[in-house]
Amino acid sequence: MSYDPEIYLESTIREIKAYVEANINTRIYKVVMEFPGSIVDSERMPLSKTLIHFELDADDPSILGMGDNVFETNYNSLDSSLGLQRAEQHMLNFDVGIWSSDRSGGTTSRSRAKQILQTLFGVDGIEKLRTFSDGGDGGIEIRSFTGGRFVLDVSDNDSRLYRMVDCQLNVRVFSRTPIAQAEPGVAIEEILQAPDLTILG
């Protein structure tokens, strides 16, 4: 798997999940790519694994460059046409949270999860995530990983939830339109010059 600019959102979410899971003990931690309120409600409490969640809460796209915004031309020899692909920059912001219970390790498990996330998305993680997600077509760039404060919640059955809230991961990716959705243009294959033409001077 790797980042795919033609399905930028799907592959960004997939790659962040895979990146974290590749660097944690999945017998202790569980990664979910949504706010896990319904998961916590439906699972038997207390939690057997500490949850780490990422929920997309902002996607700010912007057009690149000036002019027609064409960044890739694809020649089709069958009909002598060019399939044009355009690009956008996306600033994606994820809300990041940790959910732990006494059974899953309590405050210690929560603290360790925060430390792991800081390593994965802090200054040392910038190149690691880019390399992990780049399959030759671009990768995910960490812009910032900030915040994180600890709170205590009590569930309906009096189980304690040790949470981390107010933490944000901001990344940048570049997308491109699929060829099938691009506007075709006629390709110039050959320029013919009049054989008897003489240029004086």
Give me the helix-helix angle, 8-21 and 125-133, nearest 10°: 120
Greater model confidence, 6 or 38: 6
Q: How buried is 174 (Cβ within 10 angstroms: 0-12 exposed, 13-18 middle, 19+ buried)? A: middle
In tens, the pLDDT along 155-176 reads 666 788 999 999 999 999 999 8
List the beta bridge partners of residue 94. 56, 169
Strand 184-186 to 160-176 pairing: unpaired
Domain chopping of the chain, boundaries: 5-186
Nearest Cα residue to 186 out of 85, 75, 86: 75
- pLDDT tier for residue 81 given thresholds of 50, 70 and 90: low
Tell whether domain 5-186 is in CATH 3.90.180.10: no
pLDDT (tens digit, 9 = 90+) per residue, 103-127?
A: 999 999 999 999 999 999 999 999 9
Question: pTM of the full predicted structure?
Answer: 0.82
- How far is Cα 186 from Cα 170, in angstroms, rounded to an integer? 40
Q: What is the pLDDT of residues 138-152, one digit of tens each?
A: 999 999 999 999 999
pLDDT-derived band of residue 38, with 50, 70 and 90 as boundaries? confident
